Structure formats: C-alpha cells, structure tokens
Amino acid sequence: MKRFKTMIIISMAALAMTGCTDNKKENAEEKFTYIVDEFADLQILRYQIPDWDSLSFNNKAFLYYTSEAAKCGRDIMFDQMGKYNLKIRKMLEKIIECKKIEKKGEEWDKFLVYAKRVFFSNGIYHHYAEEKFLPECSFDYFKSLMEKSGQGELCKELLGVIFTPEILPFRRCTDTHVDLVGNSAVNFYEGNLTDALVNNFYDKMEDPTDPHPISYGLNSKLVMEEDGTIEEKVWKVGGLYSKSIEKIIENLNKAKEFAETEGQKKTIELLVKYYTTGDLRDWDAYNIQWVNDGAKVVDFTNGFIEDYDDPLGRKATWEGIANFKDLGASRRTEAISSEAQWFEDNSPVDKRFKKENVKGVSAKVINVTALGGACYPATPIGINLPNANWIRKEYGSKSVTINNITEAYDKAADEMPKSVLTEFAWDQDEIDMCKKYGVITDNLHTDLHECLGHASGQLLKGVKENALKEFNSALEEARADLFALYYLADPKLFEMGLVPDRDAYKAEYMSYIRNGLFTQFTRIELGKKNTEAHMQDRKLIAEWVFEKGAKDNVIEKRTREGKTYFVINDFEKLRTLFGELLKEIQRIKSEGDYAAGKKLIETYAVDIDPTLHKEVLERYAALNLKPYKGFINPDIVPVMEKGKVVDYKIVYNNDYLQQMLDYGKKYSFE
C-alpha cells in the first residue's frame, strides 16, 4: 500500500543544542527554558503552547480530552516495537521506584541512562538506527537490581534479551539478502512466518480491480499457529490492545461533547466505530470524514497510521496528536495549498502520472498540545494524511506543519555557542546565507513536502498500493522531498510573497546537500549502514545529484586543512537534476516498478563512505552535541470551582524521567 509518511527533519539549528536537568515544574508565567535533559546520543526538550488563553472553553476541553487519548496508547507502541518491551519497561520502572535500592554510583548512573533510553525509544531498540542498544552497567549489577526490587523471577526471561547482542539484534531488518520478517524483532508477526508467507496471505485478500483497495494488515498482528494455520489478531475492542483502546475511546467520546462542528462529532463517532469493529472499511470511512469535517481550530490524529516500522510495509504503529491551528502562520500553507493544481500541472513528471484534478488539499500550521505513541518523545515536524492513495485522489488530504515544535528546536539552538553549520559550511558567505534564510526555507520545504509533495502524482490503474514493499517508505519520502526542492527555487514562490528574495532557496539547497551527503551520518555508528527511511531518502537524493552532476561540477567536494566540505557551484543545474530524479521516482511509484526502486535505494541510499563517516563523527564529537532530540509534554490541568471545571491551564514539566514514570502509572493498561 502506498504510504505518505510523516516528515522528520532535524535542522542544522536543531542539531546545535546541549542542556541540563532541572527537576521541577514551572508555570507558564515563569521564564521558559527548552532543554531539560541529555544522555547517550539524546537530548530532551520541551515545547510551549502559544495562544492557549485565546482559545474558547470548548476548544480547550476538546484538546484536553484528545490529548488524554493521545497518551493512552503508549503501551501499544511499546508492545509493537518488540514483544519484551513492555515487560522490560515495567521492570525498569519498579527498579527506579524501589526504595530498597541505593541510587548512586557509577553503575547506577549507567543503569539509569539505559532506562532513559528504553523510555525514549519505546523499547530496547534505537528509535532511529533500529539496532538493539545494551546497558553499560554490568550484568551482575543489573541482575542485583532486579532481585532487590522483587523481580528476580524475570531474570532468566529478560536478562539474555537485554544483554546479548545476537538475540533479536534489530527492531526492523533491512537486509534484503535475508528474510525480513524472520530477522525483525517488531511484534507484528508471531510464529514461523516468512516474507513469502506473509505476502502470500495478503495477496490472496487483495482485489486488483477494486478502485477503493483496503489497507489489508494495517491494524493486526499476523500469527502462525503450531499446526501451520495463519490468522490475524486484530487490534480492537475485544481483540489485541483492547484495554488501551477502550481508554482511548472513553476520552474521544468525552472530546466529542466539545467538538467544533457536527462533522467533527461524526469523525469521532466513525473512529470509535473502527476501534470497536476493527474493520478497515470503517477506517477508510473515518479518514474520508476527517479530511472534510469542517473544523476550523482544533483537530487531532489518533490510530494505527504509519508503516515505517514493519519490514514489509504493511503494519501500522499507533500514534496520537492533539493540536490547534496557528491562524497567522497558516496563511503561508493556505497560500501554497490554494495553488495545488498549478504546482501539479507544472511538475516535471510525465503527464500520465499527474492528477488532472487535485482535490481537497488543505494545509495549515498547528501547535500541538500532546504527542503520543509513535510521535513521542521523538516527533515529526510535518504530517500529511490520510495515507490511502485512492482517498487522497477522490477526497483530498490534510497537511500540517508543527509550529511550536520547530520553534522549540530554534529557540534552544540560540542558547548554544557551537553549531553544525559553522563547522561544516565552506565559508562565511554560506553561513550567512543559511542564517539569513535557513528558517524560512526550511519551513517552506516542510510545507511543500507535506502539503503538495505527498499529495501529488497518481498510481496507474491496476498498480497495487504496496507494490514497492520494503522500499516504499524511503521512495515516497524522496518523492515528496524532491517535489519540495524543485519548487523551492521556482519564481512562483517569490511572486506569491512566500520568500523575501529570489535566491533564498539556496540556503535550503546548501543545507540539504551538506546533510544528505555528510552531516546526517553523525547519527550512525561507524561501519553501520543507513537504514532509516528519511535518512535513506536524503542520502539517495544527495548522492544521485552529486554523481549525475559530476561532469559539470555542479557539487564540488573540497578539502581544507584536512577537512571535507561539499560546495554547490551551479544552483540552477542542481534544480534541473532534482527535477530529473523526481520524474524518475514518480514513474517508479506510478508504475509500481519494484526492481527500479530497489536499485535506486541499494545503489545510493544504504552504504556510507567509511572515510567520510569517520571524519564526520570525529568533527561532530568535538562539538559536544547530541544528534537526536525528543520532547516531554506539558500538562493540561482542569481548573475547578465548586466541583465544576471552569477552565484549563498549562503546566510545563521540567523532569523527563518523572514524566516517563508518571506515564507508566497513569497511561498503562495492557
């Protein structure tokens, strides 16, 4: 099935942050700081909720309950990421809260870092690299903590999984030379299943003539019994994750009382129906209603949505977000979406793959009030839904850029003296260009990627939504990125008043090439491959245009004082190359050309030059920065008078670990 993924972009500014821990809560009126904790390769930030007091009581109440619903699926995400994750998380929580344990010393500090990493990654696998990470404290010390906290009976079951690299080493296997299902730890499959068995199971269900194809497998676990029979266990009320889903429904039903429109009430009713039946036709009905429910200010997403983590690209992880519209900033996205047909018509792709009539493309800038599931603690900065290609074609889509998250990245970066930009940019002119226009063009890139890139193009008749299988995610992200890159340099944006200078796009081109070829690999251990879909997308694009433009020296690799830099010499030619690659990837998507898509990914997106990799890691280490960021949520607190809720206020948390422990108590139902 064709997936239109959330876009996760960490800007150069966002990579320039470090911080400290402050274990307290503060009110909205007190001075706001963004960085609250850091450990391993991670940094924890928080975000503000601007304009909260300008919202109506009903809007606040709606956001309160949809925020609660967004937190109630946390156990689901942990379980989906590996069958031992929930047991391990709950075991860690008991250790940390056990009063019998002396919580000091080097071994304890190492244990605590491991626990924080598990909480952050929704399990024992790195949230981005997908490889299992191990505790740095000793096996014996870890075992003693389990025993002192009264959990000695779990040692035999869990310690081998935790400490042995060879046991379930990857959350999602990406090595196409082996069986992907059999070598992945994700908890979407059980028993002696193989890629072939899974694909055959769903191929038999699919009707290639159905103009409204069902996203088979999206909301279920596939199980092979000992007798060889295969069945689906659906995530629904009365099925898997029933307790969590019931709590989600409870909060959604309360939110419905404060919905903005009758259409939004109907949206919630259809989502509740889907959660109750588990019928994917009900999921489609909900998505159609959600796209056009008429709500103007408050909104939410909630469900089994994205298939990034399934090695076969079928099963969806659970996520939830509550949000409201940033009216001022949304003028930019509304201007872009209003010209959707113009952008589609003038795209460099083959006419056969263009939509003749772009429908229902709506876009806005939002502020989130809660992140949950696959969006917590690490979150996208842009979202485009729904994912079903036929719904997008016939009914349209919603695109959002998350303003208060991107603002948090930028505000935190302002506090730091060092940055990736100053270390890896070639000269002061490049630095000045990126500082002057980087935020503007980065936001525009996200807008174009989500609003129009994912909404563009169409599949040819008879092409399956899942035709590109395990390569679909990276290719779809590359298609949307290329659409955005191509149009960033178009005079149309200047004419629309979206950029202050015709050359502003160069800032994003510089940052994108620098990141795609070089700096993003600070996130990957030396000698490892590039496996995450968004990173593959960026590497694919940057490597392809670097190679194809070599004859004309479009992008030049330079060295100075033993350091490597990548410098763009011909911006116009680079834009032409972006257009050529967009044309090819759209063809691959539209025709379902699996072989061509596989070749692109394996040629340009996976293998990292070891010499460059070593250099970038050493230079980045000298900056003393953390490559990955995540967030804690603020609390929305009811204000009571005479036993009645009269308002809702925001309380900003400052303690990452405490929020993890609090969520473990309040939002654990499985």
Output 328 or 475, whichever has higher pLDDT.
Answer: 475
445-455 in b/e burial notation, b at 16+ Cβ within 10 A?
Answer: bbbbbbbbbbb
Question: Which amino acid appears at position 622 of this protein?
Answer: A
**Which residues, 6+ apart, have CB-to-CB distance to 570 below 8 Å?**
549, 552, 553, 554
**Are 93 and 661 contacting, i.e. CB atoms less than 8 angstroms apart?**
yes
Task: Check whether 9 has a pLDDT greater than 80.
Answer: no
Q: What is the DSSP string of 537-583?
A: HHHHHHHHHHHHTTTTTSEEEEEETTEEEEEES-HHHHHHHHHHHHH
**Are 460 and 349 contacting, i.e. CB atoms less than 8 angstroms apart?**
no
pLDDT of residue 30: 56
Question: How many percent of the chain have pLDDT more than 90?
Answer: 86
For 156-162, the CB contacts below 8 A with 24+ separation are 157/84, 157/87, 158/84, 158/87, 158/88, 158/91, 161/84, 161/88, 161/124, 162/88, 162/124, 162/134, 162/135
**Are 319 and 235 contacting, i.e. CB atoms less than 8 angstroms apart?**
no
Q: What is the DSSP string of 162-176?
A: HH-TTSS-BSS---T
pLDDT of residue 176: 87
pLDDT of residue 504: 97
Residue 338: other Cβ atoms inside 10 A: 13
CA distance 479 to 453: 7
DSSP state of 377: S
562: left (phi over 0), alpha (psi -120 to 50) or beta: left
Cα torsion 232, 235, 240, 241 to 10°: value is 160
Task: Check whether 272 has a pLDDT greater than 60.
Answer: yes
CA distance 99 to 619: 43
Confidence of residue 465 (pLDDT cuts 50, 70, 90): confident
Q: Is 366 helix (H, G, I), strand (E, B) or coil?
A: strand
Average pLDDT over residues 136-141: 98
pLDDT of residue 268: 98
Q: How far apart, in Å, do the first and last CA atoms of the chain sit?
A: 29
Q: For 481-520, how does the pLDDT look when each residue is reduced to its tens digit (9 = 90+)?
A: 999 999 999 999 999 999 999 999 999 999 999 999 999 9
Confidence of residue 19 (pLDDT cuts 50, 70, 90): very low
DSSP state of 449: I
Q: For 92-133, how does the pLDDT look when each residue is reduced to its tens digit (9 = 90+)?
A: 999 999 999 999 999 999 999 999 999 999 999 999 889 999
Question: Which amino acid appears at position 339 of this protein?
Answer: E
Task: Check whether 662 has a pLDDT greater than 90.
Answer: yes
CA distance 44 to 17: 10
**Are 211 and 390 contacting, i.e. CB atoms less than 8 angstroms apart?**
yes
Q: Which helix (H) or strand (E) is 27 found in, with range?
A: strand 25-27
Residue 205: other Cβ atoms inside 10 A: 10
Task: Check whether 181 has a pLDDT greater than 70.
Answer: yes
Please provide the average confidence, as pLDDT, over all residues in the chain: 93
**Are 324 and 317 contacting, i.e. CB atoms less than 8 angstroms apart?**
no
Q: For 643-654, how does the pLDDT look when each residue is reduced to its tens digit (9 = 90+)?
A: 999 999 999 999
Q: For 402-428, how does the pLDDT look when each residue is reduced to its tens digit (9 = 90+)?
A: 999 999 988 887 666 678 899 999 999
What structural domains and CATH numbers belong to the chain?
25-75+239-631 (3.30.540.30)
**And the tokens for 158?**
């869990």
